[in-house]
Amino acid sequence: MRASDRAYVTLLDEIQSGVLAPGAVIGEVEQSVRLGVSRTPMREAIGRLVTDGLIRQQSARVLVVTGFDVDDIESLFEARRSLEEAAARLAAVRGYSETFSSLADAFDTAHPERGVLAADAYYTLIERFDAAIDAAVNNVYLVQALRNTRTHLARARRLARDNQDRLVASTAEHALIARAIAEGNADLAAHATHVHLHHALRSILASITADTPGTATSPTNLTPKGQS
Amino acid sequence: MRASDRAYVTLLDEIQSGVLAPGAVIGEVEQSVRLGVSRTPMREAIGRLVTDGLIRQQSARVLVVTGFDVDDIESLFEARRSLEEAAARLAAVRGYSETFSSLADAFDTAHPERGVLAADAYYTLIERFDAAIDAAVNNVYLVQALRNTRTHLARARRLARDNQDRLVASTAEHALIARAIAEGNADLAAHATHVHLHHALRSILASITADTPGTATSPTNLTPKGQS
DNA sequence: CAATGCGAATATGTATACATTTTAAAGCAA
DNA sequence: TTGCTTTAAAATGTATACATATTCGCATTG
């Protein structure tokens, strides 16, 4: 693995997980020393993160981790709505019935209510689902945009703790979407996606607004509105 | 202007304009010597173009200009459909009536039928329109994706020569979209955008298929289907 | 004659030295 | 005391030397 890739993956994970909080200053030398690579691959890694929108230039000489507030989450879901509805529609008409039928079965028989371990299984399934969508959509431009949203979605997920009830409901929603795609029902696939995103957003926002006033729980790294 | 920016802009323009044809091998040293910059900024420029999807890694050590064929154009318009319809909808509900009302007037009074000079004016108007959409949508994720599609759209436009009739029709279509947004009519804005993209795609494909068999006209740099 | 392996050449990946620009601090003047 | 100018330090931008990996060609062997 190249040094620039290691640096990128490490920083990406640290930003997504909140180890590097919004507003944290990213200095080339500081980070390259810390991660044990030279400035050249570090610059490449930082450049990629800037393109991703996870780091932004605050002034001519200072890079900071991008803020991520409630408004950003709402923007993100606006974008997801557009992209994932289109993706679901396209997947439904591309004829990958077997793949999505099998995925629907997997979602049907998943039991995320059975504790923490099952939550990992849930996210593994989601990954499989996303990969299947990407393959079925077969459109580099759309898939590129979808992947970008997932990069930011990881930050939103971290702010909202996994909720057992929500995981169960989301599993059922995905089963419906997968089934609709398998059956070639583009309208249902798109509308079920819309409904799913509605619930997912509501759940995330509820989780955050329940936390933020308290401050007593674990640190959220949620950027105050309007400074992202 | 930084050397890496100069290199990026130059290569971007050369790829979009077809000077660097699909399949052309991009060597770091070769390009850095040609453009008079060192390898470091050249690597940065190439990295950005890879992210853009205009250059891709063909093997471990050779980068080539990405192909761009009829399938890619259709994929691109699928993505645009999704993104621009969503953008039009959002712009319509954000309340920038004055801006889009003024744009609608500008489209109404534009006269692209008055020769080549007016074609430049047409594209200037389109740029103003795109900028207004970006500002109104006010969603970094969506706008980022939109900008990406425009990067590739430039290649499609080049393959299809400007058609006087099409420019006139497109102007009218944009006037309708802008008016719909100004009036807050999200449905009409979205559907008019859909119709516009349908006509635009048809025009581009017609222009290409009319050219390709002939080969007698100017070189199109159109990648044969399936090798992009 | 073909295939495989070894070696040399070349291109990319990384580190670092050097250049340039920006920012901040200090000193001087109003 | 405040503001402006100058200067110095530190960070980014660029060039280049060095390390590593890949590819192509040639030779040897089956």
Instruction: Report the pLDDT value the prediction gives residue B121, as an integer from 0 to 100.
Output: 87
DSSP state of A25: E
Q: At A110, is the pLDDT very low, low, confident or very high (cuts 50, 70, 90)? A: confident
Q: Minimal Cα–Cα distance from A116 to chain B, Å? A: 31
Instruction: Report the pLDDT value the prediction gives residue B226, as an integer from 0 to 100.
Output: 45
Instruction: Report the pLDDT value the prediction gives residue B220, as an integer from 0 to 100.
Output: 53
- Sheet hosting strand B62-65, strand order edge to edge: B25-26, B62-65, B55-59
Which amino acid does the sequence have at B140? V
Instruction: Report the pLDDT value the prediction gives residue A69, as an integer from 0 to 100.
Output: 96
- Which of B46, B51, B56, B139 would best serve as a mutation to test chain A binding (most A beta carbons within 10 A)? B139
Instruction: Tell me the mean pLDDT per 10 residues along chain B, length 228.
Output: 95 97 96 96 97 95 96 98 98 96 94 74 94 98 98 95 88 97 98 98 93 53 55
B5-44 pLDDT, tens digit per residue, is: 999 999 999 999 999 999 999 999 999 999 999 999 999 9
Instruction: Report the pLDDT value the prediction gives residue A220, as an integer from 0 to 100.
Output: 54
Q: Higher model confidence: residue B160 or residue A115?
A: B160
What is the pTM for the complete model shown?
0.92
Measuring CA to CA, how many Å separate A210 from each of A156, A161, A217, B89?
15, 11, 10, 31
Region A189-209: what's the mean pLDDT?
Answer: 96
Instruction: Report the pLDDT value the prediction gives residue B118, as an integer from 0 to 100.
Output: 77
Does residue A4 approach strand C to less than 7 Å at its CB? yes
The candidate with the shortest Cα–Cα distance to B33, out of B24, B25, B42, is B42
Q: Which of A47, A90, A149 is facing B78, going by the closest CB pair?
A: A90
Instruction: Report the pLDDT value the prediction gives residue A216, as an integer from 0 to 100.
Output: 46
Q: Higher model confidence: residue B225 or residue A95?
A: A95
Determine whether B20 is exposed, middle or buried from the number of CB atoms within 10 Å of its CB (0-12, 13-18, 19+): buried
The candidate with the shortest Cα–Cα distance to B158, out of B131, B194, B123, is B123
First to last CA, chain A: 33
Contact A63, A49 (CB under 8 A): no
Provide the CA A57 to C1' C30 distance, Å, integer: 38
- CA Rg, chain A, in Å? 19
Helix (H) or strand (E) holding B12: helix B3-17
Does residue B106 approach strand C to less than 7 Å at its CB? no
Instruction: Report the pLDDT value the prediction gives residue B205, as an integer from 0 to 100.
Output: 96
**Distance (Å, whole) CA A115 – CA A185:** 33
**Distance (Å, whole) CA A198 – CA A123:** 19
Instruction: Report the pLDDT value the prediction gives residue B212, as an integer from 0 to 100.
Output: 67
A51-94 pLDDT, tens digit per residue, is: 999 999 999 899 999 999 999 999 999 999 999 999 999 999 99
Q: Number of helices (H) and strands (E), helices first, in chain A? A: 9, 3
DSSP state of B57: E
Provide the CA B33 to C1' C8 distance, Å, integer: 25
Write phi, then psi, for B140 (nearest 5 degrees).
-55, -35
Which bases of strand C have any atom within 7 Å of the beta carbon of a protein residue? 11-17, 21-23
Tokens 């989301």, located at residue: A170
Task: For B149, name the nearest residue in chain A, comparing CA atoms only.
Answer: A141
The candidate with the shortest Cα–Cα distance to B225, out of B74, B81, B57, is B74
Does residue A3 approach strand C to less than 7 Å at its CB? yes
Instruction: Write out the DSSP string of A59-102.
Output: ETTEEEEPP--HHHHHHHHHHHHHHHHHHHHHHHHHT-HHHHHH
Instruction: Report the pLDDT value the prediction gives residue B213, as an integer from 0 to 100.
Output: 63
Q: At A194, is the pLDDT very low, low, confident or very high (cuts 50, 70, 90)? A: very high
Q: At A123, is the pLDDT very low, low, confident or very high (cuts 50, 70, 90)? A: very high
The candidate with the shortest Cα–Cα distance to B182, out of B106, B109, B99, is B99
Contact A119, A112 (CB under 8 A): yes
Which residue(s) pair with A56 in the sheet?
A: A64
**Distance (Å, whole) CA B176 – CA B169:** 11
Instruction: Report the pLDDT value the prediction gives residue B216, as an integer from 0 to 100.
Output: 45
> CB-hemisphere CA count at 13 Å for A197?
22
Measured between beta carbons, the chain B residues lying within 8 angstroms of A152 are 141
- Closest nucleotide (CA of B30 to C1')? C11
- Which of A139, A150, A152 would best serve as a mutation to test chain B binding (most B beta carbons within 10 A)? A139
Q: How far is CA A95 from the centre of its chain?
A: 26
Instruction: Report the pLDDT value the prediction gives residue A161, as an integer from 0 to 100.
Output: 82
Q: At A218, is the pLDDT very low, low, confident or very high (cuts 50, 70, 90)? A: very low
Tell me the pLDDT of chain A averaged across its residues: 92
Residues found in chain B = 228
Provide the CA A40 to C1' D15 distance, Å, integer: 12
Instruction: Report the pLDDT value the prediction gives residue A176, as an integer from 0 to 100.
Output: 98
Helix (H) or strand (E) holding B67: none
Measured between beta carbons, the chain B residues lying within 8 angstroms of A78 are 86, 90, 139, 141-142
Does residue B25 approach strand C to less than 7 Å at its CB? no
Q: At A114, is the pLDDT very low, low, confident or very high (cuts 50, 70, 90)? A: confident
Q: Minimal Cα–Cα distance from A71 to chain B, Å? A: 9
Provide the CA A184 to C1' C21 distance, Å, integer: 59
